Amino acid sequence: MTTSTLSASSEVVSEKLNFKKILPIFVIVLIDLLGLTVIIPLMPLYATAFGASPLLIGVLGAAYPVMQFIGAPFLGRLSDRFGRKPVLMVSQLGTFIGFLILGFANSLWMLFLARILDGISGANISTAQAAISDSTTEKTRTQGLGLIGAAFGIGFILGPIIAFLSLAASGNNYHVPAFVAAAFSLISIFLTWFWFEETLPKELRHSSTQKPPFTLQAMLEAVRHPAVGFLLVLIFAQQIAFGGFEQLLALFTLNRLGLNASGNSIIFVFVGLIVVAVQGGLIGRWSRKYGERRLILAGLATLAIGLSLTAFTPRQPMPSYSKAALQAELQGSGTFRTHENPTTQNLAIEIPDDSQKGWFGLAWLLMAMIPAAVGGGILQPSINSLITQKARKDEVGGLLGISAAFLSGANAIAPLIGGMIFQSWGSTAPFLAFGLIMAILLGLAFFKVR
């Protein structure tokens, strides 16, 4: 075999993702996320059981991303210095303890303690992203990082189902789903200990030992980084739009279509399935064919279109809709199930009347969800992949940690910004505003992303 043949053969291999090497990371992240998504439907009800007001429930919801905003970049830097595996273990241990505290909680402050502890140690995802970056080439990195998004999609589909089953089996005992989540977290710890192999060689760790611990100054310096600064701004802004879309969608469909929590769960499963399809398979082929720059531009364009179409969803409930039944359910006198999100019953949201029923409103919304979900599914892994390509090897963990911190910060403020716009100017306004932001970013990215 000639040298040129060997070179061509190795190039073909490098263009294919090594699933055997990536599989442990994917499984660990998925099981970690199952623990998280089992808890998500429970938290508002759990807090309500301890007498929390809607404001306190909102603060509780923001506690995790705010603390992750602080903790993830610091742990990301530590993973550059000490390796991925020990930092992943510490992060998972914090999550496990947090879930145990939730399970044993007998007061509201214990819920806050659990979410704060889980958030401050929440470098699971950024460390897994760094491990994938270590284990992939530039040509396969987007597909590898896309599997993290696919794990999110699968987790957000299966997690609420597991929560519902555990509540049903326990007679709606709120402590049981927390212990189920702790069990998933414990499994992920064992998998990391016995299955996961360190991906960052020792000889590549020393170069980051001179870096100071993470500070806000480090974040500002990262934004000024000539190669990746705009990409960090981009990932923050797109998550405000897509995160706000996710946070406000239930209120929007309540206002436009009269959908309750059960109806909204169908919408979220639909979105989750699209994201899984994009990030679990399509994005790899698209990345190799078009490259990260074109993917980012396409993601911004489709998300802008999806958000704008969503804003103009016709106000038309389905034929089976009953305003009186929905009002009774929201006021707590109807058939309100424990696994549904109860926060909407405390909000002064106008709901449709019983006239002009039909299927067009739902059909329009589902059509709008397709470009919105495709755009949201493309952007995060594509931007992070480009960050890893532009950064030096010893910077990858820290920059992905900072990227995760920007995502957490966006997740914390998106519902506050979107809710204020929703309350002041109506349900159409936040989706139009988010769509406009994406359109502006598209124009900027066309000139700045290379």
Domain match, 195 and 235 both? no
Domain match, 188 and 105 both? yes
pLDDT of 2? 55
pLDDT of 359? 92
Nearest to 27 by CA among 198, 192, 140: 192
Return the number of other C-beta atoms located less than 10 Å from residue 324's C-beta.
9
pLDDT of 336? 33
Domain match, 70 and 24 both? yes
Domain match, 192 and 221 both? no
Q: Of 165, 199, 233, which residue constitutes the final position of a domain?
A: 199
Structure tokens at 418: 């979107």
Nearest to 284 by CA among 7, 6, 19: 19
Distances 314 to 57, 83, 324, 326, 362 between C-alpha atoms, Å: 31, 52, 21, 19, 8
Domain match, 290 and 321 both? yes
Query: Can you give the chain as a three-state secondary structure string?
Result: CCHHHHHHHHHHHHCCCCHHHHHHHHHHHHHHHHHHHHHCCCHHHHHHHCCCCHHHHHHHHHHHHHHHHHHHHHHHHHHHHHCHHHHHHHHHHHHHHHHHHHHHCCCHHHHHHHHHHHHHCCCHHHHHHHHHHHCCCCCCHHHHHHHHHHHHHHHHHHHHHHHHHHHHHCCCCCHHHHHHHHHHHHHHHHHHHHCCCCCCCHHHCHHHCCCCCCCHHHHHHHHCCCCCHHHHHHHHHHHHHHHHHHHHHHHHHHHHHCCCHHHHHHHHHHHHHHHHHHHHHHHHHHHHHHCHHHHHHHHHHHHHHHHHHHHCCCCCCCCCCCHHHHHHHHCCCCCCCCCCCCHHHHCCCCCCCCCCCCCHHHHHHHHHHHHHHHHHHHHHHHHHHHHHHHCCHHHHHHHHHHHHHHHHHHHHHHHHHHHHHHHHHCCHHHHHHHHHHHHHHHHHHHHHCC
Number of domains in the chain: 2
pLDDT of 366? 94
Domain match, 417 and 327 both? yes
Domain match, 419 and 292 both? yes
Mean pLDDT by 10 residues, the chain (450 residues): 47 60 78 72 63 63 76 76 83 88 88 87 74 77 74 77 74 77 87 81 58 61 76 88 79 79 69 79 83 90 95 91 72 37 46 86 94 90 83 74 78 78 83 93 86
Domain match, 434 and 316 both? yes
342-370 b/e (C-beta count within 10 Å ≥ 16 → b): bbbbeeebebbeeeebeeebbebbeebbb
pLDDT of 51? 63
Domain match, 314 and 385 both? yes
pLDDT of 173? 73
Q: Residue 138 belongs to what domain range?
A: 18-199
Residue 109 sits in a domain of what CATH number? 1.20.1250.20
Structure tokens at 43: 């938290």
Look at residue 344 and tell me if it is in a domain: no
Domain match, 157 and 225 both? no
Distances 438 to 28, 71, 176, 434 between C-alpha atoms, Å: 33, 28, 41, 6
pLDDT of 13? 46
Domain match, 260 and 293 both? yes
Domain match, 425 and 327 both? yes
